Amino acid sequence: MADEVAGTGGPSHRQGRRETVEERSDRNWVELLQELRVMQTGVQILTGFLLTLPFQPRFTDLDSYQRAVYLVLVVLSVATTGMLVSPVALHRALFRKHLKPQTVTGGDRMTRVAIVLLAFVMTGAVLLIFDVVVDRAAGLAVGGSVLGVLLFLWAVVPLLVRRRS
């Protein structure tokens, strides 16, 4: 069994690594935690920034559209933060249950959802800033552009790399 690739059932030389299911799960979990660390700091800073906005003097100048966008951003940002912490909660719940592959799979899915949420939070934050500073058309245009760039970088580029490999 140690000569098989974790999750594939085939010889390890097909994947270039000789690791057991447990070793692969441990390595994948460590890699996932590193990715979460990269994302978490930025999301927490963005969430903290959003949570302070209502206490700023100019917040009362926002129109109803801007306030609605702001409130949606707060919910999305908090949901993104929650989703990024979820793999840790899952790990705690499954700790010592011999379910590391399931923990990694669940954590991976939660992280993928967090990436999608983060794209919307970043897009919405840019949309709101441009809407307040310039105008609504600029907010929509730049927000849409940011969403397009993030979609390209976070979805299209990985698909292209996977296809070429």
The mean pLDDT of the chain is 89
Report the 10 Å Cβ neighbour count for 28.
19
What are the beta bridge partners of residue 11?
Answer: 4
Determine the Cα–Cα distance for residues 5 and 15; give it in Å rounded to an integer.
7
In degrees and rounded to multiples of 5, residue 132 shows phi and psi of -75, -45
Query: Worst-scoring range by mean pLDDT, 4-8, 19-23, 89-93?
Result: 4-8
- For the chain, give every domain's residue range: 40-164
Q: Residue 56's pLDDT band (boundaries 50, 70, 90)?
A: very high
Could you give the angle at which helices 100-133 and 136-151 cross, rounded to 10 degrees?
150
CA distance 118 to 79: 9
Q: Which two tokens stand for residue 5?
A: 């690739």
Whats the size of the chain, residue-wise?
A: 165
Cβ atoms 142, 130 nearer than 8 A: yes
| Whether residue 13 has pLDDT greater than 50 | no
Q: Give the model's pLDDT for residue 10.
A: 45
Q: Would you state the pLDDT for residue 15?
A: 59
121-151 confidence digits (pLDDT tens) = 999 999 999 999 999 999 999 999 999 999 9
CA dist., res. 13 & res. 24, Å (int): 14
